[in-house]
Amino acid sequence: MIIRKLRLEQGWSQQQLAQHSGLSVRTIQRLEKNQLPSEESAKCLAAVFEVNFNDLLGCFDPKPKKEAGMNPLHVSSEELRVMRQVRDIKDFYGHLMSFCIVIPGLWVINLLTSPQYLWAVWPSLGWGLGLATHAVGTYQPFNWLGPEWEKREIKKRLKR
């Protein structure tokens, strides 16, 4: 996640980071999913981001040392949560755009080919329900199964 954080701080796309670092876009994608970089890749990225090579490699350590909290490149749990939330919102917008393009197209096809039977209502309802479910999952307007509920359930099951 540190590579994603540093890339977004620069305002770069994965493609732009690949160009600046000399790495492939696929390598950037793997590193953003916390796959351990090769020494060569880590050196390229440390140079591009102008950070210490050891600090960068320390972020990929599966068993962080106690002094890892001192790492200036540390990604906090709050930052991870927000980055995931923003990714989920971006995914929802992509879903919404697909819906807004495809469904009107289906209605046009329906009205041009068989206006006597409005079959386009069925994909509209099905996809609309899926989109609504995606929106609720993304924005969580009903947070009744949120962290507080989880905490209560864990305590209850541990009989505390």
Q: How confident is the model over 102-127, as pLDDT tens digits?
A: 999 999 999 999 999 999 999 999 99
pTM, full prediction:
0.67
Chain centre to alpha carbon of residue 119: 35
Local structure of 119: helix, strand or coil: coil
pLDDT band with cut points at 50, 70 and 90 for residue 68: very low
> What length is written for the chain?
160
DSSP state letters, 20-86: HHT--HHHHHHHHTTPPPPHHHHHHHHHHHT--HHHHHHTT-SS--GGGGG-TTPPPHHHHHHHHHH
pLDDT band with cut points at 50, 70 and 90 for residue 62: low
Give the pair of three-digit tokens for residue 42: 């880590």
DSSP 8-state class, residue 35: P
Q: Which of 41-50, 110-119, 133-142 has the highest mean pLDDT?
A: 110-119
Cα dihedral sign, 112-114-117-122: negative
**Topology classification of domain 2-70:** 434 Repressor (Amino-terminal Domain) (1.10.260)
Give the pair of three-digit tokens for residue 158: 């541990």
Among residues 65, 74, 69, the alpha carbon closest in space to that of 6 is found at 74
Q: Is the pLDDT score of 63 beyond 90?
A: no
Q: Is the pLDDT score of 6 beyond 70?
A: yes
pLDDT average, residue stretch 68-80: 72
Q: Is the pLDDT score of 56 beyond 70?
A: yes
Cα dihedral sign, 74-78-84-87: negative
